[in-house]
Amino acid sequence: MATPSGTSLGGVAVTAPQRHDRVQLAVLAGAALLCVLYRLLPEKLILLRDVFIYVGVEALTAGMIVVAVRWFRPAAPTAWYAFAAGVGLWAAGDLIWGLYLYAGKNPFPSAADVFYLPGYVCLAVGFTVAAGRRFAEKNVGVYLDTLIFVAIVGLLLWVYIIEPLRSASDLSRVGTVITITYPLADLLLLAVAARFLVEGAGHLRVFRWLVLALVLVLAGDMTTTLNEIGHSVLSERSANAMILGGVALFGVAALDPSMRSLTERVFIPAKTPGMVRLGLIAVATLIPSGVRIIQALRGESLYLPLTITATVVIFVIALGRWSGVLAQLKRMLGREKVVGRYTADLLQSSGEDELKRLAETTAQELVAGGTATFVEGGERRLAEDPHEIDIFVAVRGESVGVLTATSSTTELNRAGEALQSVADGLALALDRQLLMETERENAETLARQNEQLLELDQMKDQFVSMVSHELRTPLTSMIGYLEVTLDGEVGELNEEQHEFLEIVNRNCQRLDRLIDDILFMSRVDSGRLSLEPSWISVADVAAACVETARVATRQKNLTIDFSPDPDLPTYWGDPIRLSQLFDNLLSNARKFTPEGGDIRVTVACCSDTIHAEIADSGVGIPEDEVGRLFERFFRASTGSTAPGTGLGLSIVQSIVQVHGGSVNVRSELSVGTTFDIDLPLPGIPGAPSSETTEVAT
């Protein structure tokens, strides 16, 4: 926990971290200097060396731990007070032992052992309290891993330390028991500290100092024990110096600002061990057998009861560890099965309430022994309870609720991904529900609009029918009387009267063509365009239209050229509609080609189609308007002054399409325009018949 300078923890001002670092470094340097001084002082300075220096360092270390607790106020000071008590007991024992040495005595057992052994217990209590405070979750896997580690170290200690020590000792039974107790006390310290290692506390700086302290203390103890059985190369003074250095490091660790983190509660959920740890567990089961093999090769005692017992114990613990792993995998597969079933049920469910109940039921099943609820709405907040997990469900970027599950931290961690899948599935299902509702609304709206369109279409048909009857009848009468009048059957007309009646006649004819075009497009839209197909020559149809157009082209001094393919096959199509097609295109070419220009008509056979081209040297069409030529009532900007309704090209396209063909246009301003028509052979679908054929458009 980082705290700025000048703030307080528990009401007590905290010194700047830099100052604590300086104090820690000064203590570390002083302890190192005193350890070196202890090692180098001559034997005759027993009082200075073994009492004032050795006991003084231990006493100061105990005091520093107490001061550090007052400085940093850790969450569980009991652990650090236990460390201080253990170091203080060692100081009392070493004081007694130093006085023995000063008096020239070397008793064993002695009164010093009464303080030494409880000191180990106090240190073990400190590690136990710290571990119990720090690790909130009870992880069975960690305990099993620790037991395997302790069992192996205990076996090695017994075979290579305790048994040789017991066999070589000529002490009394009490002395032998006390001698054996010291390695066992070291094993106790190692066992309680191992949980920190297995739980992954190596990133804590304070724990690194404590590990180094334990290493030095245990190394010194082992060196002393090996000296007694004649296997050590280091002197007793060196062993005591290592122990003294380890004791001093307890004080250095306490002065580290990270000492609070040793007892701060963390929630480390159980995880499936990796392959490295599982491999080490598998190797651990082989160590007792390896010890027996080494002992046999050396010709030493095999300690069969002990090694066999250790083998069985380690194997049983490892088997339990592997069983736990398999159980975790089984639970994981079970959760995947639950999520898979949940996904299938979501697809079969409908309604927001039903979907939310399904999510609650599935989440409840995933957190064994816990609870799960879906709360509408909900605000995002930081989870403070480690036994609760909140997963927000968002639909289209907006939170609709929160899926809350409560259980043990380990269980929540195991089911975390599955719970997230449940929340994601619910979000998708709710989104799908909204989409389906939107689609239903759109379908209803579209149905209403279609009904309106049908009504409008019927109204349009009625209007067109009315136009064809109410306008065509008087218009036909007008055209008839105009023709009679212009022919002079009712009397001679002067030149001006004749000119005026010609203008009226032309506009009546134009209005008649407009009515025809509107009726034609109405039939196309309603799919009631009638065709009367027959086997025809497209070249003959085009030639007739060209001849009809020659009279009008001569008036503008235009040249019209027609080039038919002599081997053109017959075509199954409607000659009247095809004539209408050529008439419209030739009319356009004539209207938009200036005087002196030319028009070219080509009809040829290209593979399995009849290809027709109507090209002119007219004004052309702007490139950005070419794509709109076939729109109804659209007129290009270059031909806006020419007479017309804008329906001619739309009619051309409809005629080509009902014959199963295609029409394209190429144009260049001031150069001319070319229309390409392709009609597939043999013609429109259907066998030759004299009856009228209805073609859907």
pTM equals 0.52
* Average pLDDT of the chain to the nearest whole number: 79
Domain shared by 312 and 359, yes or no:
no
CATH of residue 680: 3.30.565.10
Looking at the 3D structure of the chain, how many domains does it have? 5
Cβ–Cβ < 8 Å for 94, 50: yes
Q: Can you give the pLDDT at residue 137? A: 60
454 occurs within a structural domain:
no
Which sign, positive or negative, has the C-alpha torsion 236, 237, 239, 244? positive
pLDDT one-digit tens code per residue, 320-354: 767 766 777 777 788 888 888 888 888 888 788 88
384 occurs within a structural domain:
yes
Domain shared by 316 and 418, yes or no:
no
Q: Can you give the pLDDT at residue 15? A: 46
Domain shared by 254 and 277, yes or no:
no
pLDDT one-digit tens code per residue, 296-315: 777 767 677 767 777 777 77
pLDDT one-digit tens code per residue, 447-468: 888 888 888 777 766 776 676 6
Three-class secondary structure of residue 151 per DSSP: helix
Q: Which two tokens mark 472?
A: 């065509």
The better pLDDT of the pair 438, 517 is held by: 438
Q: Can you give the pLDDT at residue 22? A: 81
279 occurs within a structural domain:
yes
Cβ–Cβ < 8 Å for 213, 246: yes
| pLDDT tier, 682 (very low <50, low <70, confident <90, very high otherwise) | confident
Report the run of H or E that residue 604 belongs to, with start and end.
strand 598-606
Last residue of a domain, one of 323, 348, 373: 348
580 occurs within a structural domain:
yes
Q: Which two tokens mark 279?
A: 């491999």
pLDDT one-digit tens code per residue, 591-638: 888 888 899 999 998 888 999 999 999 888 888 888 888 887 777 777
Q: Which domain holds residue 317?
A: 273-348
| pLDDT tier, 690 (very low <50, low <70, confident <90, very high otherwise) | very low
Give whole-number Cα distances, 693 to 8, 538, 545, 660, 689, in Å: 99, 19, 24, 14, 8
Which sign, positive or negative, has the C-alpha torsion 688, 691, 696, 697? positive
Give whole-number Cα distances, 26 to 19, 31, 531, in Å: 11, 9, 110
Pairing relation of β-strands 609-616 and 672-680?
Answer: antiparallel
- What string of H, E and C letters represents the secondary structure of 277-332? HHHHHHHHCCHHHHHHHHHHHHCCCCCHHHHHHHHHHHHHHHHHHHHHHHHHHHHH
314 occurs within a structural domain:
yes
Q: Can you give the pLDDT at residue 613? A: 93
Among the listed ranges 103-117, 168-182, 380-394, 681-695, which one has the minimum average pLDDT value?
681-695
| pLDDT tier, 566 (very low <50, low <70, confident <90, very high otherwise) | confident
Residue (of 522, 519, 525) closest to 697 by Cα position: 525
Among the listed ranges 227-241, 300-314, 435-449, which one has the minimum average pLDDT value?
300-314
303 occurs within a structural domain:
yes
Which sign, positive or negative, has the C-alpha torsion 269, 273, 277, 282? positive
Residue 171 scores a pLDDT above 80: no
Cis peptide before 74 (omega within 30 of 0): no
Residue 85 scores a pLDDT above 90: yes
206 occurs within a structural domain:
yes
